[in-house]
Amino acid sequence: MFEYADPADIIGLVLMPIVSLMLFIKEGRYNYLHKTNKKSERIVATILLLGTILSALYSSYSNKETIDTNIKAFKNSALLKCSNGLQDILATKKNGWHLSKHTLYKGDNIVNIQKCTGLDKKDFQELN
């Protein structure tokens, strides 16, 4: 599932436990379960950790749904508007684009299918 996660989510998953631990370091020792630690502090740290994990899972699920929808649309010969960071590209099977896992390619152009949106005929006519 994490193959669909954004890099920012992965960084958050790595950094949030470190930040949570830093909130509870007292006098150079890990103090999360120490008696003097306030219950409210433990609750806040737990909520931060769970929130980070759940947001990364939701983001991964949402990205997976987008990718699956775009792959299905491409296989059904729909027109996709994709962005490779430099330009917007109209991709479809009919104009020579090919699908390889989560990537569309045609010649030297390569686009991650997650960066695409399906276009209706009305949207296509507005572009032209």
Identify the domain containing residue 64 by its residue range: 1-76
Q: Are residues 25 and 12 in the same domain?
A: yes
DSSP 85: S
User: How are strands ordered across the β-sheet holding 98-100?
Assistant: 98-100, 103-106, 109-112
Tell me the backbone φ, ψ of residue 36, rounded to 5 degrees.
-75, -10
**Which helix (H) or strand (E) covers residue 31, if one does?**
none
The pLDDT tens digits along the chain (128 residues) read 556 666 767 777 777 777 766 666 554 455 555 555 567 767 777 787 788 788 878 888 888 888 899 899 888 888 888 887 778 888 888 889 999 888 899 988 888 888 888 876 655 555 55
Give the residue carrying structure tokens 């104009």.
Answer: 95
Q: Are residues 59 and 100 in the same domain?
A: no
81-95 per-residue burial string, b: 16 or more CB within 10 A, e: under 16: bbeeeeeebebbeee
Q: Are residues 10 and 43 in the same domain?
A: yes
- Is residue 29 classed as helix, strand or coil in its secondary structure? strand
Q: Domain tally for the chain?
A: 2
pTM over 0.95: no
